[in-house]
Structure 1
Amino acid sequence: MLRLTPVVKNLLIINVVFFLLQQFFTSIHFTEMVSLWKFGSVNFAPYQFLTYMFAHGGFGHILFNMLGLVFLGPLLEQFWGPKRFLIFYLVTGIGAGLLYNGIEYFQVSNVESAVNLYIANPDPEAFNRLVVENIESANPAIYDFIDAYAKNPDNERLEEQSIVYAKQLYNETFNFGSMLGASGAIYGILMAFGLLFPNTELMLLFPPIPIKAKYLVLILGAIALYSGLNRAGGDNTAHFAHLGGMVFAFIMIQIWKNDRNKFY
């Protein structure tokens, strides 16, 4: 029978409470307040590095994250003790948010540079390139505008409108989209389990086959890296947050191995 340890139990309760608050307090935009927004966004607040990991995007999202927590978390809490496990969970979750937001900020900065470059030298070909390279799923109307602009490259009104569109692209990229969920911390738990108990067999849900922890960690890490670097249009998964949780987990475990008696 599954036995919940104190910290895992409390984390489970907090996640469920947050999820319920998300359902009942939509009018005050609770989810938007606790999600993690990009650095510099009008919606960003430092506390979100903590709160985002307790909010979720739907029942399936929280279900699978909590399954990972309750199946693997107790083993690590018993191995490390409650205090160290809680520190590990929070640091990997916050670290996942930091890595994800850092990469997002870098990507937004690239968009800003592209927009500024276009504004300095606007023309139909450059505008088409700006849209194709920086918008994953644009409104079809923008392509009608591109066609009209290409047919009338010397039209000042169309040129001015293209600059307006370019500025809107930057503003939407900068202020649109947030991250939420415990996945970063859960991937950190998976990494820790794979490092500490590499030959322990875990049973996958889909497909229901056993796999050693070390191989599961390698596969999930490779998927997170590949998916983050080759993100498909419409993919809303924060792959670099998953990778960030694993990276911070690896770093923490190495520190603890080398400095066991001085960590606290």
Structure 2
Amino acid sequence: MTRVVGQLLLANLLMFVVTRGNLTLFSQLSLVPAQVLVKPWTLITYQFLHDPGGFSHIFFNMLALFFFGPKLEMRLGSGTFLKLYLTAGLVGAIVHILWTFLMMSQGGLYVPMVGASAAVYGVLFAYARFWPRDRVLIWFVIPVQIRFLVIFFTLISLWSGLGGVGGGVAHFAHLGGFLGGWLYLRVRAARSPAAQFRKQSESPGASLGERELTVKWRQIEPASLHPVNRDEYERISTKVKGLGWSALTERERTFIERFGGGFG
């Protein structure tokens, strides 16, 4: 059991116990689409509530978090895992609200939504992103690769949501959870040190512009270079004459930047 997963399990269980006997608190923390602007905190608090009238809702959500959460938290780190979890739940809420308003369902606008399902779906998506071929047992019997389970849940949620087979389930919140997990991983990957380095190294002229390159180039003294570097100088010189400065690679620009100071 990892730290954040344990804390999330405990928080959900405690809220389940506390709100079962306090319907006023349950109402204040539930997400109601028509009231979200006056109760914005419910975009987060709804994720820690579950149907007080039954145990299956919280049981299956916590079971999925228990199975998939620890390995993912160890892979991402505790802070990142928590951000992923909350982001998936938040995006799930937003998608549910937008869909409810789009359908102009007057009744649906005032129906409270609760549950960690969207957040757990985000965890499930992220797990499938890193370990797509891991197998889970459906009904503890049928082995299915996690990537196919995500696809199956996506199709079921789409079919049920678009077909009006609600059954008291916020299907588009589930889809929003998948979307939130995907968005968080995409943003995280784009901001990673490796991505920033790759972006910089692939950008033409990332280090020096043509004017600076020209100045540096004129400062190089070929006769003072080591024979290996002199050969590289001649090769770059031929390339510049034929194709221009814009054709240089980042490695070639680095060569000019390095030896343009007069070091051989």
Asked if these proteins are the same fold (TM beyond 0.5), I'd say: yes
Relative distance call for 1:77 and 1:41 in structure 2 (3 A) is closer
1:17 Cα deviation from its structure 2 partner: 0.8
Larger RCO (alpha carbons 8 Å, 6+ apart): 1
What is the aligned partner in structure 2 of residue 212 from structure 1? 145
Relative distance call for 1:41 and 1:83 in structure 2 (3 A) is closer
Task: Tell me how far apart the structure 2 counterparts of residues 193 and 74 of structure 1 sit (CA, whole Å).
Answer: 10
Per-residue CA distance 1:168-213 (angstroms, 9 max, x = gap): xx5x5543x1100000011111111111111111122x26211111
What is the aligned partner in structure 2 of residue 191 from structure 1? 125
Structure label with greater radius of gyration:
2
What is the aligned partner in structure 2 of residue 38 from structure 1? 33
Relative distance call for 1:94 and 1:191 in structure 2 (3 A) is same
Aligned residues: 193
- Asked if 1:25 is matched to 2:22, the reply is yes
Instruction: Check the 8 A contact 2:136/2:146 in 1, yes or no.
Output: yes
What is the aligned partner in structure 2 of residue 248 from structure 1? 180
Per-residue CA distance 1:46-94 (angstroms, 9 max, x = gap): 0000000000013110000000111100011000100100110011111
Relative distance call for 1:173 and 1:226 in structure 2 (3 A) is closer
Structure 1 segments unaligned to the other structure (5+ residues): 112-169
TM-score, scaled relative to structure 1: 0.69
Q: RMSD over aligned Cα, in angstroms?
A: 2.0
What is the aligned partner in structure 1 of residue 42 from structure 2? 48
Task: Tell me how far apart the structure 2 counterparts of residues 248 and 23 of structure 1 sit (CA, whole Å).
Answer: 29
Percent identity reads 32
Relative distance call for 1:256 and 1:63 in structure 2 (3 A) is same
Secondary structure, aligned partner of 1:178? coil
- Asked if 1:231 is matched to 2:164, the reply is yes
Relative distance call for 1:262 and 1:20 in structure 2 (3 A) is farther
Relative distance call for 1:107 and 1:78 in structure 2 (3 A) is same
Per-residue CA distance 1:93-145 (angstroms, 9 max, x = gap): 1110011011112222xx5xxxxxxxxxxxxxxxxxxxxxxxxxxxxxxxxxx
Structure 2 segments unaligned to the other structure (5+ residues): 196-264
What is the aligned partner in structure 2 of residue 96 from structure 1? 92
TM-score, scaled relative to structure 2: 0.69
